[in-house]
């Protein structure tokens, strides 16, 4: 299964890990289990439901609840998925993948404290890169940029060959504003590794605005917007991007305004807001003032 089947963030590895677990259950439960880990979403839900009803061992039932939750999430049945992740956690309190995925739903609901609590428990159970990476997202949503940068740093340590944590740490450091040179270095690293990635170029445009490098910010925003076929995501397994063309257009408009090109700046900002009504508030929260 690809990450985009289910994820807003990264958990393709989680899906594969759970699918690889086969419980030592009675033969009469084998077909239900085979269905529970199949590739057909409707078959998965029914198979996991059947397996759960068979009074199997608690650890095996936790996996069935987890697999059913993944499929429900893929169908955008978030309340059902949340309930099943919770059942899995009740049966196995250190089930880090279930904790991780329930945390993401808490984050989507805006219950950031609960999300942090679940991510932290997941990290305690298994300190893998994905748990740190996604806890950092929640810290970003809370405006706790230094804590986000620390978690992205831990993800970098655990994923030394991945570019996405560098780009995300760039954004966190730029939003915090205390170490803009480090922010710029992280974005430079990401853009060097993936020079045609529009998301990374947009994040560097943001860092350049915080450094008052307005010409450089415009250049990166233009590069991000130049080709509609450019990549806005962070690569396989990272889910859809959080930065879009409206972000690049807004940052370009801000930089133009700072350089005294008020008509061009207003035009770009107005179009960005038309595309995404929340874009102005997003960057105001991170210290970008027109």
Per-residue model confidence (pLDDT) at position 20: 39
Total length of the chain: 290
| pLDDT at 153 exceeding the cut of 70 | yes
| pLDDT at 75 exceeding the cut of 60 | yes
Q: Which residues of 91-123 are buried (b: 16+ CB within 10 A; e: fewer)?
A: bbeebbbbbbbbbbbbbeeeebebbbebbebbb
Q: What is the DSSP letter of 275?
A: H
Is residue 130 within 8 A of residue 13, CB to CB? The reply is yes
pLDDT tens profile 4-58 = 222 333 333 333 334 434 444 444 789 999 999 999 999 999 999 999 999 899 9
CB atoms within 10 A of CB 63: 27
Which tokens belong to 119?
Answer: 């991510």
Q: Give dist(CA 3, CA 161) in Å, integer.
A: 19
Is residue 229 within 8 A of residue 278, CB to CB? The reply is no
What is the arithmetic mean of pLDDT over 68-92?
A: 97
Q: Which residue has the tokens 């748990």?
A: 131
Q: Residue ranges of the domains in the chain?
A: 1-92, 163-290
Task: Kindly tell me the burial class for residue 165, based on how many C-beta atoms sit within 10 Å of its own C-beta (0-12, 13-18, 19 or more).
Answer: buried
Q: What is the pTM of this model?
A: 0.87
Per-residue model confidence (pLDDT) at position 234: 60
163-290 belongs to which CATH class?
Answer: mainly alpha
Per-residue model confidence (pLDDT) at position 13: 33
3-class DSSP assignment, residue 191: helix
Task: Kindly tell me the burial class for residue 247, based on how many C-beta atoms sit within 10 Å of its own C-beta (0-12, 13-18, 19 or more).
Answer: buried
Per-residue model confidence (pLDDT) at position 142: 97
Q: Which of the residue ranges 21-25, 105-109, 111-115 would you say has the lowest mean pLDDT?
A: 21-25
3 state SS for 171-202? HHHHHHCCCHHHHHHHHHHHHHHCCCEHHHHH
Per-residue model confidence (pLDDT) at position 232: 66
| pLDDT at 74 exceeding the cut of 80 | yes
- Number of helical (H) and strand (E) elements in the chain, helices listed first: 16, 0
């Amino acid at each position: 299964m690809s990450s985009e089947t289910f994820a807003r963030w990264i958990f393709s590895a989680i899906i594969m890990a759970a699918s690889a677990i086969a419980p030592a259950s009675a033969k009469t439960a084998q077909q239900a289990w085979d269905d529970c880990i199949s590739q057909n979403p409707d078959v998965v839900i029914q198979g996991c439901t059947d397996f759960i009803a068979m009074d199997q061992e608690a650890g095996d039932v936790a996996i069935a609840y987890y697999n059913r939750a993944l499929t429900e999430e893929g169908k955008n049945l978030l309340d059902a998925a949340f309930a099943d992740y919770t059942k899995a956690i009740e049966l196995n309190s250190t089930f880090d993948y279930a904790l991780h995925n329930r945390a993401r739903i808490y984050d989507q609901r805006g219950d950031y404290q609960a999300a942090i609590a679940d991510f932290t428990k997941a990290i305690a159970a298994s300190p893998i890169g994905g748990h740190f990476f996604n806890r950092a997202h929640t810290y970003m949503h809370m405006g706790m940029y230094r804590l986000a940068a620390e978690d992205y740093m831990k993800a970098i340590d655990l994923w030394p060959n991945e570019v996405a944590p560098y780009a995300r740490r760039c954004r966190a450091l730029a939003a915090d504003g205390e170490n803009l040179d480090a922010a710029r270095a992280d974005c430079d690293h990401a853009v060097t590794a993936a020079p045609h990635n529009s998301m990374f170029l947009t994040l560097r445009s943001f860092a350049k605005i915080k450094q008052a490098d307005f010409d450089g910010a415009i250049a990166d925003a233009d590069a991000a917007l130049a080709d509609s076929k450019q990549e806005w995501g962070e690569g396989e397994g990272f889910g859809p991007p959080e930065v879009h063309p409206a972000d690049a257009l807004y940052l370009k408009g801000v930089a133009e305004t700072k350089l005294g090109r008020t008509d061009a700046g207003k035009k770009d900002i107005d179009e960005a807001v038309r595309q995404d009504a929340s874009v102005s508030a997003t960057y105001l929260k991170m210290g970008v003032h027109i």
